[in-house]
Structure 1
Amino acid sequence: MGFRINTNISAMNAYVNSSSTSRALDESISKLSSGLRINKAADDASGMTIADSLKAQASALGQAIANGNDAIGIVQTADKAMDEQLSILNTIRTKAVQAAQDGQTSQSREALQSDISRLLEELDNIATTTSFNGQQLLNGNFSNKNFQIGAYANQTVQVSIGATASDKIGLTRFETSQLMAYSDGGIKDIVLKLSGIDGYPSGYEFQTISSTEFEKYGLKAVADRINGVSDLTGVSAKVLNSITFSNVVAAGDIKGLQINGIGIGDVTTVAGDKNNVLVNAINKVKEQTGVEASTKDGKLTLTARDGRAITIKSTQSQANSQLGTGKAGFSVGTTIVGKLTLIRQDARDIVFRMSGCEEVKAISLGAEIITGEMSVAVGTGVTQKTVSLGDMNSGILDKDLAAAMGYFAGGISKTDQLSGVTTYYGAQAMISISESAQKILDRIRSDLGSVQNQLQSTINNISVTQVNVKSAESQIRDVDFATEASNFNKYNILAQSGSYAMSQANTIQQNVMRLLQ
């Protein structure tokens, strides 16, 4: 071994190793004190890049979860408001049912309508004041709203809430035919078809109505077929078979009077039936005929309460003038089948066809009897309107709107009507319209329920994803304390041994001094 003074190689080696150990010890202390394996890019450049990307993803997922919860809050706010609106509609429908019986007076119906008007005001108030963070939810403007519920662009859920004000819900289509009738014979088996029905691209065909059934029940048989599947088609029907003749009952003898095949016998009438002989004779057998008679201003009204056909016969040709039909063409023997009203609980047109009843005609007691072929909900002579819940609280119903809703019996002139449940027909219409409004709100709530379930499922999924992403980041970025503590102890011992080695390297120089003594 050589002895040198200027260069202490042993000390230099000890210094280099001690410096390396000191750096490693500093890094170990930094990791242990921060809890991170990567404190700077030099610690693990590629690992830091991956960890930073995972950190950004986890942070974005956290905000996406918050966005989803905000969306759920909006949906729940709207849902609770509509729940209260449905409660209001249930009350309105109950009051409409209460008004739809002739035991009510005009005053009691007005009181019920006053209650309904107040309820509709509150329903509209809910629609205009329900909001979230300053945004109106139920006025129709909250449509196609997007919520970012992912870590990356365009990972969104779209939310739309329909308008729930009274003029936007309850949209109901009413289509009413003219008063229909036919003479003896000519009726065939009748085929009915309803087009434009969801799920039936070729239209819905009903069970055929036999000629015998139609001759007995008239349009009531048609209405029964339609109402039997109304839950499936969304279309219901009603028949108003009531006719008021245009002339005053004349004095004279009616021989062999029959209604619906039931003999009433010979009746001697006075002008205007002031002694009620004709009315009493007809009403005496109303349980068998299903037809009830009354007079107003001396004019005879015949009404089939259940909507069945009304066939009048007499062995005397002059019976027309005695009854006051006002038309020579309206021969006794004609069967009156009434007015058919079709109701659809949405705003779409009703396309309905009847074949086999070409002899059924529209009659008018103020003109010639035969005015055209049978046309129900299509063609001329059909009054068609779409009515909202708000229309039923407008104060006055236009006469054409009232006609479309089936307000007027045969022989009654069309006039503007009070809206709401102030009349029997208005109460019946309110029942249908409030039911339609309930279905619309239920549909909106159902859609929101589906959106809420979607949001909740998404939140659950991204919550799990966020945990897994954070776990992956932790595996890269966070320090393993057990491993790092072991490293620290190693470097700590090496640092101590390095210091000892340097001190020993310096003592080697003392051997040179011994040579110089």
Structure 2
Amino acid sequence: MNAARINSNPAYDRAISDFSRVDRSGRAHSQRLASGMRVNGGKDDGAHLSVSEGMRAELGGLTEGTRNTEKAMDLLRIAEGGMNEISSILLRMRELATQGTTDTLNDTNREAMDAEFNQLKEYIDRIAKLASYDDQSLLSGFGNDVDEVLSTALDANGDTGVRRVNVSGTDSGTYTFVDTGNDNEITLGNGTVTQTVSLGSILDGDQVADGTTVVVNFDSLGVEMVLAGNDVKGSLGTYQDGDLDGTTLVVSDGTGGQFQLGSDAVSADRLEYDIKDMTIGAPVLNLSGISVNTRDGSRQSLAKLDKAIDRVASQRGEVGAIMNRLEFTLNFTERAIEGVTASESTIRDTNYALESTSLARTQILAQMSQAAMVNSQVPVQTVMSLIA
């Protein structure tokens, strides 16, 4: 016969322990059902949490890679569109050169044709300068950049106040500043093209105002620079009228660019590309000295135009090949995203059928534990009745 005790009640203590354990399990199942995730923290499944976080990082990289790929295709479409217009102009120039080779025209007629011919040459340069993506010129000096070591005008190489220089469609070479004091003007040139910019409206006297910066744009050269005043964070010097006289900017030839197409910082996830310079004097066209104002000049122009047309067509083919490659890359990346998403879901997402069943089980067990707590009070009630 079991003794009746009141100082301790093992059955009641065991019922409380069971209820607490079941209640904790029920809260975990409820959390999984509410969040939709089986793994909500490290205590749920540390190993699978680590795997899942790695997959999420990969998924984020792949998603951004698809955006990069789509933007890369947009960039190349703009470049190819500009080349298409240049090709059309070259065909028209070839028609004029063909007309100029026949003796049914005299030199006066050819001079009239040469006027249109020269206009077309200028328009090719204009297209090459205007074809841009995100303020990057694509068909003129693509990838060209300022040499920070050789450029004496930069703030890092002297107390000049030139905080930053941006170039777009800028020809490679050395650009020299003419900046005589007390005239609030800066001149920049490369020996072929020169541009003077007035600073009178943006300077405070003869210098940049303290704590501010100003932008000086040499748009004819494709050069934009930021001049800093005193106490500008990140700037070593302060610009004062005359400080840049005799200093230089060295623009080096670019080697193209890179598209980041994947999720990792490895060469396999990058695509290097280059877009050739399509200006009249660049090696691809090489048409700067041609004209159709004479019969012999027309014949020489015809031969050069044929080569230029072939080279432009070749460049368009290369750009098209890169676009096709990007199309395949985009398809592959989308499939990879689908696979990684499914894998991450398998590891981390809630199995609603299992969790719902488990929650129902814990609720039943909780009710049984409560009943056990009530029944465990019977010996105490018995003792109390004996005392009474």
In the alignment, structure 1 residue 391 sits paired with structure 2 residue 292: no
Q: Name which of 271, 275, 278 aligns with 1:161.
A: 275
Deviation per CA, 1:250-280: give whole Å up to 9, x if none. xxxxxxxxxxxxxxxxxxxxxxxxxxxxxxx
Q: Which residue number corresponds to residue 14 of structure 2?
A: 13
Q: Give the letter aligned to residue 54 of structure 2.
A: S
What SS is found at the alignment partner of 1:391?
coil
Give distance in 2, aligned partners of 1:450 and 1:491.
62
Residue matched to 1:288: none
Cα shift at 1:140: 3.3
8 Å CA contact 2:107, 2:294 repeated in 1: yes
Number of residues paired by the alignment? 274
Q: Which amino acid in 1 is paired with 2:288?
A: G
CA gap of 1:95–1:170, structure 2 versus 1, over 3 A, is farther
Residue identity opposite 1:454 in structure 2: R
1:423: how far off? Answer: 1.5
Counterpart selection for 2:371 from 500, 505, 508: 500
Q: Report the TM-score when normalising by structure 1.
A: 0.52
Q: Select the residue among 474, 479, 485 that pairs with 2:345.
A: 474
> How has the CA–CA distance of structure 1 residues 31 and 170 changed in structure 2, closer, same or farther, with 3 Å as cutoff?
closer
The match for 2:310 is: 439
Does 2:11 match 1:140?
Answer: no
Shift of residue 127 of structure 1? Answer: 0.8
Task: Report matched runs for 1:4-403 at 5 Å.
Answer: 4-142=5-143, 143-154=255-266, 155-169=269-283, 388-392=286-290
State the SS of the aligned residue for 2:84.
helix
- Identify the residue that residue 327 of structure 1 maps to in structure 2: none
Q: Describe the SS at the equivalent of 1:436.
A: helix
Q: Secondary structure at the match of 2:79?
A: helix
Report the Cα distance in structure 1 between the residues aligned to 2:327 and 2:3, rounded to whole angstroms: 81
Contact residue 169 and residue 440 of structure 1 kept, 8 A: no
Matched to 1:167, the amino acid is: G
Residues 446-466 of structure 1 deviation map (CA, whole Å, 9 limit, x = unaligned): 111111111121121111111
Unaligned runs of 5+ in 1: 172-387, 393-419
**What is the CA–CA distance in structure 2 between the aligned matches of 1:40 and 1:167, rounded to whole Å?**
63
Unaligned ranges ≥5, structure 2? 144-254
Q: 2: distance between equivalents of 1:38 and 1:434?
A: 67
- Are the counterparts in 1 of residues 131 and 139 from structure 2 also a CA contact under 8 Å? yes
Give the Å deviation of 1:141: 2.6
For residue 41 of structure 1, give the secondary structure of its aligned residue in structure 2.
coil
Query: Residue 68 of structure 2 aligns to a residue in which SS?
Result: helix
Q: Residue 61 of structure 1 contacts residue 150 of structure 1 at CA under 8 Å; is this kept in 2? A: yes
* Counterpart amino acid of residue 361 in structure 2: K
Q: Distance in 1 between matches of 2:333 and 2:10?
A: 61
**Is the radius of gyration larger for structure 1 or structure 2?**
1
Distance 1:99 1:488 in 2: 91
Take 1:111 and 1:500, find their aligned partners in 2: how far apart are those partners?
108
- Further displaced range: 28-37 or 462-471: 462-471
For residues 2-61 of structure 1, what are the alpha-carbon distances to aligned partners after superposition, in whole Å with 9 as ceiling and x for unaligned?
Answer: 211111111111101100110011011111111110111100010100000000000011
**Match of residue 242 from structure 2:** none
Give how far 1:513 is off.
Answer: 2.3
- Quick one: which amino acid aligns to residue 145 of structure 1? G
The amino acid across from 1:391 in the alignment is G
Tell me the distance in 2 between the aligned counterparts of 1:61 and 1:449: 24
Identity %: 28
CA-atom RMSD, angstroms? 1.3
